[in-house]
A and B are shown apart, each in its own frame.
Chain A
Amino acid sequence: KQEVTQIPAALSVPEGENLVLNCSFTDSAIYNLQWFRQDPGKGLTSLLLIQSSQREQTSGRLNASLDKSSGRSTLYIAASQPGDSATYLCAVNSGNTPLVFGKGTRLSVIA
């Protein structure tokens, strides 16, 4: 059964720093991996979707990479801002089975 782990569970950084969030999964037979952002009490907003055939995706200051063989994905945030403070979740799609979510990394960017 697919398991998804996100490390660290919480992270606090000063404004302007570059940072990396990690997501690992146990079964490499995946269709895609998606990164989400969740603000407190709010829904999930999709940030980046990486298909299994892709190595990375970029959107603005965000870059997500995927290494399927090692079961890892990273979300890189450049020049962090206080508005980036949120919980970041990754979700792995293995096909016609429920998406498996990590428990998230809670990010605080201090001004």
Chain B
Amino acid sequence: EAQVTQNPRYLITVTGKKLTVTCSQNMNHEYMSWYRQDPGLGLRQIYYSMNVEVTDKGDVPEGYKVSRKEKRNFPLILESPSPNQTSLYFCASSWDRTNTGELFFGEGSRLTVL
């Protein structure tokens, strides 16, 4: 089954404790992206990747890091989480290099930073 898988789905952590949210897709997509969704603000892009070893900032990259060492994986790293990073996070992927194809989303990871 074609899917985008995120882990963990739910996480409660404390300020400053590094964490990684993993994202994996099994569709051989070139394009992958991370979003956060907050009430009243909608979905905002954090980082995206056009291909292996190619990443770029989205609208709200501060406080986040990403890497794309393999085509299928695109982990989101919070080096020193803060309460304002409490949010619902989504990973998404698309087959098309220029992102003109259909975008597929993971189920989401709900992060709470105390």
Question: Considering the chains assembled together, what is the distance between the CA atoms of A96 and B43 in angstroms?
Answer: 17
CB distance from A88 to the nearest CB of B (A): 13
Q: Using Cβ atoms and an 8 Å threshold, which residues of chain A touch B103?
A: 34, 46, 91, 99
Q: Would you call B104 and A89 a contact (CB within 8 A)?
A: no
The answer to the question of B84 belonging to the interface, with a C-beta cut-off of 8 Å to chain A, is: no
Choose one: B59, B98, B100, B106; the contact of A43 (CB below 8 Å).
B106
Question: Considering the chains assembled together, what is the distance between the CA atoms of A49 and B42 in angstroms?
Answer: 20
Interface residues on A, range: 20 to 34
CB distance from B95 to the nearest CB of A (A): 12
10 residue pairs from A and B, CB less than 8 Å apart: A31-B98, A41-B110, A43-B4, A44-B92, A46-B103, A49-B101, A89-B43, A98-B45, A99-B103, A101-B43
With A41-B108, A89-B43 known, 15 other A-B pairs at CB within 8 A are A31-B99, A31-B100, A34-B102, A41-B110, A44-B105, A91-B103, A93-B99, A93-B100, A95-B98, A95-B99, A98-B58, A98-B59, A99-B99, A101-B43, A103-B40
Which B positions have Cβ atoms within 8 angstroms of A? 4, 33, 40-43, 45, 48, 58-59, 90, 92, 98-108, 110
